[in-house]
Amino acid sequence: MKGHLSAQLLWLLLFLQDTTGADELRLVNGSSPCAGRVEVKHQDQWGTVCDDNWDIEDAEVVCKQMGCGSAVSAHGRAYFGEGSGPTWLTVIDCDGDESALWDCRHSGWGKITCYHYYDTGVICSGKNSVNLPL
């Protein structure tokens, strides 16, 4: 019928709409691309990860996902400065072998508003993330 979408085309369009705003991860305010405050893009908007129990297993997942090697350190309490925007992920609990940060246990996307004072950060072993004396 002219002017009507088929059911298959409608499902395809709905699928594409869900995947075009795909989640992303970045590190900001660090001294290299492999160090900084952890930020997540969800629903086409960047926000922060907030956790007062952020640990090395959580940081390990971020470093691996970013292609930055292993976690050297995990930082909480806005070590790399406070972010802005929504707090997308809170109360993160990773085992360390997840392929993406959002695959770890968490409170749900944007479910808890958190002070940016608790924004998380990482330093990874990747290139130029740590300047150790020779």
Lookup: tokens for 16:
């594409």
User: Phi, psi (5° rounding) for residue 104?
Assistant: -75, 160
Residue of 111, 119, 127, 24 whose CA lies nearest to 72: 127
What pLDDT sits at residue 134? 43
Give the residue extent of every domain in the chain. Answer: 23-124
Contact (Cβ atoms closer than 8 angstroms) between residue 123 and residue 72: yes
pLDDT band at 3 (very low <50, low <70, confident <90, very high): low
Question: What CATH architecture is 23-124?
Answer: Roll (3.10)
pLDDT band at 112 (very low <50, low <70, confident <90, very high): confident
Checking if the pLDDT of 25 tops 60, the result is yes
Checking if the pLDDT of 62 tops 90, the result is yes
Tell me which residue has tokens 């940060």: 101
More confident position, 17 or 54? 54
Q: Which residues contact 19 (CB under 8 A, 6 or more apart)?
A: none
| Mean pLDDT value across residues 91-117 | 93
